[in-house]
Chain A
Amino acid sequence: MIALENIALRQGSFELSDLSLELAAGEYGVLMGRSGCGKTTVLEAVCGLRNISGGRIILGGRDVTQLPPAERGVGYVPQDRALFPTMLVREQLAFALVLRALGQAEIGGRVHELAQLLGITESRDRPPDKPSGGEAQRAALGRAPAHPPSAPCAGAPLAALREGLLAAGWRPRQRVHRETGVTILHITHSPSEARRLAGCHFRLADGKVTRDENRSCA
C-alpha cells in the first residue's frame, strides 16, 4: 500500500500542505495534474528524495517518513528512463540485487525471469542506448522492482512510480502490475493517457488531491 497522510512540502516559493492519498496493496493508482502543479515534488517525497515538513508517508504499512530512499523499498521509473549509460541492460536489471549482495546464481535467475516477463531477453547484453524506445522503457521498469519484495526489505510493497508519459510504456507496465502484484502509483500530466489506464484515479490541483469517484479501482 501507498499512503500519504497530511503531508506538507515546500520547494522555494512553491508549497503544498495537508495532502493525503491512499492506495491499497496491489492497486494501480494514477495521479493526474497539470504541469507545475507539484506532481514531481510529491513523487520525490514518496521516494525520499525530498524532505517533507509535515505528515507521514506509509509504504506497505511501514512509516517510511524518516527512512533514506534506499530503505523505502520503492521502485522509481522516471519518464526519461534514466537507464545508466555505462551498464548493459542485464547489469541494470541486476543493479539492486548486487547492492543487496545476493549470490551470483540467484541474481542470474532473477534477471532472466525479469527479462522474460518484460520481453527484453534479446537486448539483455546490449548497452542501454541500443534497445529501442519501448525496450528501454521496459528495462527501466524491470530495473525498478528487480529487488526481491521478500529478503532485506521484507513485506514492503514495490511501487513502480512514474512521472509523465511515454505511449509505448503503459502496456507492459500494467502486465508487470498484474503478474507481480505490486502497488503502483503512476503519475501523468496527460488526461488521454490516464483514460487508457485502469485503476484508481487521483487528480492533483490547487494543492489538493481529489479521488475520481466515477472509476473503480479494480
Chain B
Amino acid sequence: MSGSKLSGFRVASDKPFLIGLGVLGGSYLLIIGAMVLADVVFLNYSDRPVLGPEMVRQGRYTGGEVVVPVKPGRSYYFRKGKNDAGLRLGQQRIASDGLFLAAGDRAVLLPHASGRPITASLRPEARVMQIAVTNHVATVTTGVAHGLLWGEFIRVRGTGEPGWDGVREITDTATNQISFAVTGAAKPPAKLSLSKPNPLVQALRSRDIRFSIKLSLISCTLTTLLSLWVAVPIGYMMSRFEFRGKPVIDTLLDIPIVLPPLVVGLSLLILFRYMPEWLSDAVVYKWPAVVLAQFMVACAFAVRTMRVTFDQIPQRFEQVALTLGCNRRRAFWRVIMPQARGGLLAAGTLAWARALGEFGPILVFAGATRQKTEVLPTSAFLELQAGRTEGMLAVSLIMIAAAVVVFIIARTLGMKRIFA
C-alpha cells in the first residue's frame, strides 16, 4: 500500500501559487501606476477661456426645460453637469463641454429628469472691449466681470505687437478690468485675446509656488544631509555594540515613526517654549522649523535603513582590518563605509522622500506662511483651501516630478556601484 503511494508520489502544480503571487503583486503595482498616471492624465494642459459670471441658477428643473437668454453672436462656455442632457440652441444641440457661438437669443437647458437640481454651467466668454496703455502697463477692459485675481497669470495672444504676446502677471484688477505690464510699444494693439494658462503654468509662474519649490528642495536636501549625519553613527552603534539600555534606545528611535506626525509638530512647538528666547525666535514659524520638523520624522527612517545596512555587513571585515593595522575609526572609513554606500544612498533617498511629503508637523511647528514657511505640501493644502483643486493637482505633479528626478539620480548612482 505504502509502496504504491511512494512510487506514485506527485506534487500539485506550482501554477496556482505563482498566479496568486502575480495577481496580488500585480494588482498593487497596477494601482501604483494608475494612481500616478491618473494625475498626469487628468490635468487639462490646454489654456482655459476667461469667463464671465454664471448664467444658470443652481436650482431645480421645476418645469422641465430652463430657458437662458443669450446674445446672438457672442461665445459662451457650456459645462454639462451630471443631471443635464445638454443645451438646445434653435436647431443646434450641444451635448459636450466647450465654447460655442450663440446663434439665436435663447438657449434651453435640457434636464435628464425633472425635479433634480441643475448641475450645468453656462458662462459668457469675456470679450476685450477696450485696450489702453500707460507707462508700459496695459489695462484691458472686458465686457463682463472676469473673476481674475491679482497675482494670477494671463496669456495674451493675437496682438501682433512685439512685447505684448505671452504669459503676463496680472498686476491690478477691477470688476471688468485687468492690468499687466508690457514691454512693447506704447501704442495699444488693435485686437487682443485673453486666455488663462493651464494650472501647471500658473503654478510654475507663481512667485509663492516658486518659493515653495525652492524651500522644499533646499529643506529636503538639508534634512537628508542632517539625517545621514545622525543616522550613520546611530545605525553603526546599534548594529555593532551591545550595551545596557539598548532596547530602550531602540524603542526611542522608533517613536517618530509611530507617533502621528501632527503630534510630532505639536511636541516640537511645546518643546521650544522651554528653549531660550533667541533660539525659539530663530526657529519657530521660520524656515529652520521646516527643516527640524522634516528631520524629526525623516531621520528615524534613515536610522532604520542604516542599521539594517550595517547589520548586513559582517563584523569579520572590521576584525580583519583591525589586525591589519586599523583602529576602529580607520576600519570604519576604509572598510565599512565603502560597503555601506548602497545603504547610504537608500537611506538618503528615503529621508529625502519623507521630507518632501512632510506636512502635518510643518503646519503646526512652522505654520503655512506664503513665501516664508511654505513648502510644496503646504502649497497643495493652500490651493485646496482656496478651492483650486486644479492648482493642487499642479502642485502635486511638481512634487511627483521632483520625487521621480531624485529617485532616478539615486538609482543611477546605485547602478554605477553595481556595474563598476
Please report A residues at the B interface, Cβ cutoff 8 Å: 44, 47-49, 68-70, 72, 74-76, 78, 80, 82, 84-87, 95-96, 99-100, 143-144, 147
Contact = CB atoms under 8 A, between A and B. Distances in A.
A96 B324 contact: yes
A99 B325 contact: yes
A69 B327 CA distance: 8
B322 A144 contact: no
Contact of B314 (A44, A69, A74, A82): A82
B251 interface: no
Closest 7 CB pairs between A and B? A86-B338, A69-B322, A76-B323, A99-B325, A96-B324, A82-B316, A70-B325
Interface in B316-355: 316-317, 319-327, 330, 334-335, 338-339, 341
B169 to A, nearest CB: 53
A68 B322 contact: yes
Nearest to A127: B420
Interface in B288-329: 314, 316-317, 319-327
Given A49-B322, A69-B322, A82 B327 contact: no
Name, among B323, B327, B338, the residue most crowded by chain A CB atoms within 10 Å (CB to CB): B323
Interface residues of B, number: 18
A147 B325 contact: yes
A109 B24 CA distance: 59
Main secondary structure of the interface of A (DSSP, over half): loop
A75 B324 CA distance: 7
B339 A96 contact: no
Given A85-B339, A86-B338, A99-B330, A78 B316 contact: yes
11 contacts: A44-B319, A48-B323, A70-B327, A72-B323, A78-B316, A80-B316, A82-B316, A84-B338, A86-B341, A95-B334, A96-B325
Contacts of A100: 325
A125 B23 CA distance: 46
Interface of B: 314, 316-317, 319-327, 330, 334-335, 338-339, 341
Contacts of A84: 317, 321, 335, 338-339
A99 to B, nearest CB: 4
A75 B325 contact: no
Given A82-B319, A95-B321, A144-B323, 6 more contacts: A69-B322, A70-B327, A78-B320, A100-B325, A143-B320, A143-B324
Contact of A76 (B314, B319, B334, B335): B319
Name, among A47, A48, A72, A99, the residue most crowded by chain B CB atoms within 10 Å (CB to CB): A99
Contacts of B319: 44, 47, 49, 69, 76, 78, 82
A31 B324 CA distance: 22
B322 A48 contact: yes
Name, among A69, A72, A87, the residue most crowded by chain B CB atoms within 10 Å (CB to CB): A69
A82 B323 CA distance: 13
B316 A95 contact: no
B340 to A, nearest CB: 10
A59 B317 CA distance: 23
A45 to B, nearest CB: 12
A149 to B, nearest CB: 13
A95 B338 contact: no
A75 B320 CA distance: 8
Contacts of A87: 338
Contact of A99 (B314, B316, B326): B326
Nearest to B340: A86
Nearest to B338: A86
A75 B316 contact: no
Given A82-B316, A82-B317, A70 B335 contact: no
